[in-house]
Amino acid sequence: MEEQTGSSPEAEAWRRIVEAIVAGTEDPSIAGAFWVAVEARIWSIVLSGRRADPGSHRVRSKFRDLFADDVAAAEDFVAELAAATDRRRIGGLYRKSEFLELERDEMLQRIAARSFVRKRAVSFVRSAGRGGMVGLPEGVRGPGSFDSGPEGGWGGTIEDRTEGESTTTEFDLLHRLLDHEPVLRLELRGKEPNAVEMTAALHTWLLLDSDTRERTTLLERLRGEVVGGVEAVEMAIRAGWEEVRRELAACDDEVVRHPGMERKRLDEIDRRRTELQVRWIFEPLSSGRVRELLGLPSLNAGEKRNSNYRSSRTTLFPLVDGLLSRHLVESEASDE
């Protein structure tokens, strides 16, 4: 950030703040000014109204699926994320010379991008819904009354809802799946499952609703056709989940390690996280694992089974897949 002739007192003050943070020499006044700036940025993304007039505060539309009209909950999130950002400052994550080249708004957009704030809001709500439990992967369930995320659950429960109440219910149902609750329904088109339906059962066995009659039919087929039986299927799914868990953690770690990351890379990571969340529910088994479980003659045969299943997923799970498309693949139109 080069000093310019005629720069405003505010710009000069911010330059001193940034220089101190990058050098690691900030005093309490610098730290306080940084906190205020970051909190104001986050607040303006999540809430609208006049800060000095609590009665005017409203949750912005893009966050109502998470907080509904609970302004207090949204303000709690703003305070928590601002505190987390300050902990990153204390940990030295913003001691990067590249920040010296940025204007105030540019730096704040890097530190608290809209997409980043949205992701952290989802995690905040999910953690609250799990009674504060943390450490689960990014795509884990949030509270039953609100939440982000698409998909889930089942049967006609979403279709029978009115439009006004469907969004939060859909979100909750999806996160029951992301939390690996067995609420998924696989409705067979015939008396016996075909090859695509059996592949679907392989991938989603641990998520299938145990109260459906189809599960009994699928159980008999898995016992008869899978090398190692149902136990082998369950072990393979859990191994696949663990691989996805590690990759999701790697996505978050990269964002944390590079607080000045460009928007393009953040978008790439968001897309990668979305792909992993889809795998987390629908496709934890690699082609190699499918080949081993079904005793197929080649890896290509396993790839073919997965490919056919993938192309039929919207038919097998129309409600869930549609919700995933609408919500998990959400992208921010602007990060200004």
Residue 68: which region, alpha, beta or left (left: phi > 0; alpha: psi -120 to 50)?
left
**pLDDT tier at 15, thresholds 50, 70, 90:** very high
Helices (H), the chain: 9-23, 28-46, 64-67, 71-90, 104-111, 114-129, 163-178, 195-204, 213-225, 229-257, 263-282, 287-294, 299-311, 313-316, 318-323
> In whole angstroms, what is the distance from residue 201 CA to residue 270 CA?
28
The candidate with the shortest Cα–Cα distance to 273, out of 120, 97, 65, 146, is 120
Rg (CA), the chain: 24
Look over the chain and give the mean of its residue pLDDT values, rounded to a whole number: 78
| pLDDT score, position 160 | 34
Long-range contacts made by residues 238-246, C-beta under 8 angstroms, separation at least 24?
238/206, 239/289, 240/279, 240/284, 240/285, 240/286, 240/289, 241/180, 241/280, 241/284, 243/284, 244/137, 244/276, 244/279, 244/280, 244/284, 245/137
**Cα torsion for 167, 171, 174, 180, to the nearest 10°?**
-150
φ, ψ of residue 78 in degrees (nearest 5): -55, -45
196-238 pLDDT tens trace: 999 999 999 999 988 888 888 999 999 999 999 999 999 999 9
**What is the structure's pLDDT at 197?**
94
Question: pLDDT of 275-320, one tens digit each?
Answer: 888 888 899 999 999 999 999 999 999 999 999 998 888 788 866 6
pLDDT above 60: residue 4: no
Structure tokens at 230: 């149902």
**CA 208 vs CA 9, 68, 94, 331: distances in Å:** 62, 30, 45, 29
Residue with tokens 């939060």: 168
| pLDDT at residue 166 tops 90 | no
